[in-house]
Amino acid sequence: MTYALITGASKGIGKAIAEELAQRKYNLLLVARSADSLKEIADNLSKKHHIKVAYLAIDLSLNESTSQVYQWCEANKYQVQILINNAGYGLSGPFKSSSIAENINMMHLNTRTLVQMCHQFLPMLQQQKQAYILNIASTAAYQAVPGLCLYAATKAFVLHFSRGLRHELLGSSISVTSVSPGATNTDFASRAKVGKKALKAAEKVNMTAEQVAKLAVNALFNKKPEIVTGFVNQLGVFFAWLLPKSILEQIAGDLYK
């Protein structure tokens, strides 16, 4: 029996992706820190959609966590067909305003954990007739963002790693897709402590987690290399390519002051 494994599945985009896949009758493995939230989601989705749902509460920012996730799958004979690396968060404000421990923890979760999950599960994915990897990047991946500088850098890493991995796996049974959401109605802004000015600007273009999830899952199954969710976000990425970097960085920096 095959499963879709989703990290950061207890809320936001990860939870919405779980619901989207459940509607399509995929069995799920949900991974996040909150056992109570995961249990509630698992119970609800399994009853509502008549699918198998298991969960593991674990802090994925810790070094040994990805090995523990893999061992959990092996011990329970969970065959992963779809790997969705969604876990991640941001820190806003000047780089020096967060401690080095906070910055490194974010870097580890956003990049190292994602790489480890891909590396750990590649052999299992290769055993499937068709398998998928979905990595959640961000529109911040397409430019430097003063006030979110380290977060944007981690998402640029996710985007470029996903592009490279996709090309390495062309011709194999594994398709790799990266999805770059813009402002989304999740608790990202609250955890990142985004300021009022940036929040007000985001209100005009906010998408729901459900909208992002549907676009992400469609892109996954259509084997798209990458997508930016929403027309306004696509336009923003186009201007990030077109306009001088100094102008873009000044605009972004003003938002996150």
206-255 pLDDT, tens digit each: 789 999 999 999 999 999 999 999 878 778 787 776 766 676 667 666 66
| Three-state SS at 28 | strand
For the chain, what is the radius of gyration of the CA atoms?
18
Closest to 166 (Cα-Cα) out of 141, 120, 135:
135
Residue-range definition of the domain harbouring residue 135 = 2-255
- Average pLDDT of the chain? 90
Structure tokens at 110: 């956003």
Q: How do residues 45-54 score in pLDDT, each as one tens digit?
A: 999 999 999 9
Q: In this structure, what CATH number is given to the domain that contains residue 151?
A: 3.40.50.720
Neighbours of 176 (CB within 10 A): 27
Specify whether the CB–CB gap between 164 and 61 falls below 8 A. no
Distance of alpha carbon 99 from alpha carbon 107, whole angstroms: 12
- Tally of domains within the chain: 1
Entry pTM: 0.89
pLDDT at residue 199, as a whole number: 46
pLDDT at residue 181, as a whole number: 94
Which phi and psi angles does 188 have, rounded to 5°?
-55, -50
Q: How do residues 21-63 score in pLDDT, each as one tens digit?
A: 999 999 999 999 999 999 999 999 999 999 999 999 999 999 9
Side by side, the strands of the sheet bearing 131-136 are 53-57, 28-32, 2-7, 79-85, 131-136, 174-180, 226-228
Q: How do residues 93-151 score in pLDDT, each as one tens digit?
A: 999 999 999 999 999 999 999 999 999 999 999 999 999 999 999 999 998 899 999 99
